Amino acid sequence: MKNHLHLLFEVEETPLSKIMQVMQFRYARYFNKRYRKVGHLFQGRYKAILCDRDAYLLELVRCIHLNPVRAKVVDDPEKYPWIGHSVYLGKLKNDLIDEDLVLSQFSGNKSLARREYVGFVLRCLNEGHQEKYYKVKDQRYLGEDEFIGQIECKERNFESTMYDIPIEEIVLEVSNATRISQDKFYSLTRGRKGAYGRSLVAYLARKISGCLVKDIAEHFRREPIDFHILNFTALSVVGVLQYSLLPLAL
């Protein structure tokens, strides 16, 4: 695909937003440096759809690998180097792709699984655009009603655990706990103490109050990417602050 790409992630501990922000930031920096460009590389925000793994994992893998064929870029997915098809065939290695996750759906024997996988993909080689994989609910869910209902229930439960604590209160508590002046939090210079304090505030504001990264960034007059690429390690401090902040919400 010349102007977009499709990625299939199984998200675990690291949020998708953080993965995408870091990836986009680093690729844009690489691209601009190589081609001597400046400014934004990507147009708008990426589109993310939460899919029912049990029902759609294999279908989505097939759909993504057949996209270059359906776009008439190549006549065989194996000829397109920018997809993971050759990894599943065992002809290439890529540490970013968990081939066992997909191949195990066909057979516990890897050689047999590869043959089954190839047959599964090529059976739909001549089919056109598959509209069924674009019928999403609320612009973000792909799955049956039962799956969507479970996800929405989890979201409501998550939202109910959020507390209405202003960022200013969090800044004050972090400042008191770390003995870092609040002025350093808002300084536009690249001071280490200020960056450390902002990282604590950002983590707590998201975890306890459910604040959006863009709102935190605006509060400190920073770019959102500054809060996505923080290397945060002070978990013991966060634990103490988290419990000290909760009474403010009661």
Domains and CATH numbers, the chain: 49-158 (no CATH), 167-249 (1.10.1750.10)
Determine whether 41 is exposed, middle or buried from the number of CB atoms within 10 Å of its CB (0-12, 13-18, 19+). middle
pLDDT classification of 241: cutoffs 50, 70, 90: low
3-state secondary structure of 142: strand
pLDDT in tens, 157-205: 555 556 778 889 989 988 988 888 999 999 887 788 888 888 888 888 8
Question: What are the residues facing 137 on neighbouring strands?
Answer: 141
Q: What would you report as the CA-atom Rg of the chain, rounded to the nearest whole angstrom?
A: 23
Residue 82 has pLDDT above 70, yes or no: yes
pTM above 0.75, yes or no: no
Question: What are the residues facing 141 on neighbouring strands?
Answer: 50, 137
pLDDT classification of 121: cutoffs 50, 70, 90: very high
More confident residue, 116 or 242: 116
**Contact call for residues 104 and 113 (beta carbons, < 8 A):** yes
Q: Quote the pLDDT of residue 19.
A: 86
pLDDT in tens, 50-74: 888 888 889 999 999 999 998 899 9
β-bridge pairing 141-142 and 50-51: parallel
Residue 1 has pLDDT above 80, yes or no: no
pLDDT classification of 233: cutoffs 50, 70, 90: very low
Strand residues in 128-228 grouped as ranges (E): 141-142
pLDDT classification of 110: cutoffs 50, 70, 90: very high
Rounded mean pLDDT of the chain?
Answer: 81
Q: Quote the pLDDT of residue 229.
A: 47
Q: Contacts from 34-39 at CB under 8 Å and sequence distance 24+? A: none
Entry field: residues in the chain: 250
Q: Quote the pLDDT of residue 8.
A: 92
Q: How far apart, in whole angstroms, are the C-alpha atoms of residue 45 and residue 62?
A: 25
Determine whether 105 is exposed, middle or buried from the number of CB atoms within 10 Å of its CB (0-12, 13-18, 19+). middle
**Contact call for residues 205 and 213 (beta carbons, < 8 A):** no
How does DSSP classify residue 51? Answer: E
